[in-house]
Amino acid sequence: MKKTLKHHGNHIFSDLVWDVKENINNVLFSYAVFDIMKKSLKNTTMKNVHEKLVVFDGSVSPPGFTSVILIDESHITSHCYSDRGLLAIDIFTCGETEVEPIMNYIVYEIKKIYPTLECMYQKTHKRFHYK
Task: Transcribe the chain into DSSP letters.
Answer: -PPPPB-S-EEEEEEEE--GGG---HHHHHHHHHHHHHHTTTTSS--EEEEEEEEE-SSSS-SEEEEEEEETTEEEEEEEETTTTEEEEEEEESSS--SHHHHHHHHHHHHHHSTT-EEEEEEEEE-S-B-
112 touches 91 (CB < 8 A): no
Residue 127 CA from chain centroid, whole number: 17
Q: Is the pLDDT of residue 1 over 70?
A: no
Q: Is the pLDDT of residue 29 over 90?
A: yes
Q: What is the pLDDT of residues 73-108, one digit of tens each?
A: 899 999 999 999 999 999 999 988 999 999 999 999
Cα separation, 124 vs 130, in Å, equals 18
Task: Name the average pLDDT for the chain.
Answer: 94
Query: What percent of the chain is modeled with pLDDT above 70?
Result: 98
Domain extents in the chain: 10-126
Query: What percent of the chain is modeled with pLDDT above 90?
Result: 84
Of the CATH numbers 3.60.90.10, 3.40.50.1010, 3.40.50.300, 3.40.630.30, which one belongs to the domain with range 10-126? 3.60.90.10
Q: Is the pLDDT of residue 128 over 80?
A: yes
Q: pTM for this one?
A: 0.93
Cα separation, 77 vs 73, in Å, equals 13
Q: What is the pLDDT of residue 78?
A: 98
Q: What is the pLDDT of residue 4?
A: 86
Q: Is the pLDDT of residue 67 over 80?
A: yes
